[in-house]
A and B are shown apart, each in its own frame.
Chain A
Amino acid sequence: MMVIVAAVLTIVCVLTMMYLTLMERKLVGRIQDRIGPNRVGPYGLLQPIADAIKMLTKEDITPRAAHRIIYNLAPVVIIPTAFLTFAFVPFGRGMVAADLNVAFLFILGFSSASTISILMAGWSSHNKYSLLGAMRGVAQMVSYEIPLILSALSVILIASSLSLNDIVLAQGGYWFILGQPLAFIIFLISGTAELNRSPFDLPEAESEILAGYHTEYSGLKFGVFYIAEYVATFAMSATATTLFLGGWQGPLLPSWFWFFAKTLIMIFIFMWMRGTLPRLRVDQLMSLAWKFMVPLALANLLMTAILLPLVHENPYLELIALIGGTLVVAAGAIFVATRYARRPGTSSALVPGEGVVAGQ
């Protein structure tokens, strides 16, 4: 039985990743007022296969000064960290491979473990741009884990469980995005930064730092990093769907259909942000994480923790109380942000980029 589940998951995974790459290119193309790939097959549908063949047939170069074993191990290490989240996410009613009651912690652990692979790749390439890209990337990922966890924690408080299945079942009354919109926005932004996607993709920006930590990788090894990024995007979208959009809950149609539809909407939002927003500088994004996201996520958590014991019995009262609390926290955040921003001469705490560089 488990073998069939594993086989289905693998096939679903591989197909989804292939067509996510195509979706990204066509979507970003349309945002940029051009059609995406449309030559290979009808509407470009065979493009991912062409990409795969291209990557497999490229020359596999290893730099002479690279630490050979670590260089070859880095793509190997990133694969489990990206793919293992699929074991914990509930794809439908009763369709979860491992229904642990600490499932969410494992997902978090695997996304933290991907930083090791990036450091390995950057270090072993023996290339200063790779090392710099890797260190920036890891600093960014580690910083944005905190708002990610804190925003998810607010949802876990309401659901009273770390098990993803329980969290989905707890959204039978209302989806958590309605009760925790601020947490959703923080999760979205932190998730984008965790995935090193635009607008937070300075560590791997093509025009800025060559290609960051995977500069020296070619052929199949680069393909593995590329695939792992898309798998992680799908995993992050699936987690966001489970935590905020009600997982597989939905009327009439089968539960897995709702799950994939909602996950696709989340992926669409990630790709939409990539095509639309300009890239942040590394000090801007670190400043955003520590000076804005963390206090905001903490305030949201505080608000939820204070309100929840008072209103937990009644779902309608809970929803209204949480929305009211969110408005208060958002108003406070806007007040603080506008008060401390853009005034020359003040020691600006919140303006990204000012006063962050050492020496003030």
Chain B
Amino acid sequence: MNVQLLTNALAGLQPTHLVFLVIAAVTIIGAIGVVSARSVFASALFLILSFVGVSGIYILLGAGFLAAVQIIIYVGAISVLILFAVMLTRNMGTETRSQFNRQAGISLGLCLLLAVFLSLAAGGIEWPISTDQLPANQVIALGQQLLSAQFVVPFEVASIFLLTALIGALFIARE
């Protein structure tokens, strides 16, 4: 890490990079909040923050459809499911205790060490970058791929899974 490398990095900084840093920070703060928040409801809300951050990353990658679907499915449906589960659990409202114990310092050190090693390992690999063009209209391309011979069977099987889950939920709820 010399000064030249740093100045090169700063010179090539573009607005997109700043936006990415902000969105990545939001996602990571959300993720840390999930595991360290005192009440379970707050953990669930941090998870929602994380989901919104991931949606932002999808937008930066140019996948608008995926970003919208992430908001609809994760923030609009799965988060609601998680929040209902938290609210319907007895005594969840009064459980507020610190998520850290006495080994917090050592584990933080070990995690940082692990992060440094992983970064060095991942940074030393030549990741191949795809030269495919993004399709002009993502939604049409997605629709065609979903019903093509490669993906139609998993697509239909997934729908049957969801139907089974729905029927199972109804059956359990009727008891």
Contacts and interface: CB of A to CB of B under 8 A. Distances in A.
B139 A112 contact: no
B71 A106 contact: yes
A110 B52 CA distance: 11
A7 B93 CA distance: 42
B19 to A, nearest CB: 16
B33 to A, nearest CB: 12
B87 A101 contact: no
Interface in B148-172: none
B138 interface: yes
A101 B64 contact: yes
B57 interface: no
A29 to B, nearest CB: 36
A131 B41 CA distance: 13
A358 interface: yes
Interface in A222-254: none
A279 B33 CA distance: 41
Given A102-B139, A119-B83, A113 B75 contact: yes
A105 B72 contact: yes
Given A101-B137, A113-B76, A135-B87, A67 B69 contact: no
B70 to A, nearest CB: 8
A116 B79 contact: yes
A109 interface: yes
Interface string B41-58: 110010010000000000
A102 B137 CA distance: 10
Interface string A72-108: 0000000000000000000000000000111001101
In this complex, the interface size class of chain B, counting residues with CB under 8 Å from chain A, is 20 to 34
A102 B68 contact: yes
A270 interface: no
Contact of B87 (A108, A131, A142): A131
Nearest to B64: A102
Contacts of A113: 71, 75-76
A182 interface: no
B81 to A, nearest CB: 9
Which has the most chain A C-beta neighbours within 10 Å: B69, B71, B77?
B71
25 contacts: A67-B39, A67-B41, A67-B42, A69-B42, A100-B64, A101-B137, A102-B68, A105-B65, A105-B68, A105-B72, A106-B71, A109-B69, A109-B71, A109-B72, A110-B71, A112-B71, A112-B72, A113-B71, A115-B76, A115-B80, A116-B45, A116-B75, A120-B45, A161-B139, A162-B139
The 10 lowest CB-CB distance pairs between A and B, nearest first, are: A112-B76, A109-B71, A105-B68, A109-B72, A102-B64, A119-B83, A106-B68, A102-B65, A113-B75, A102-B68
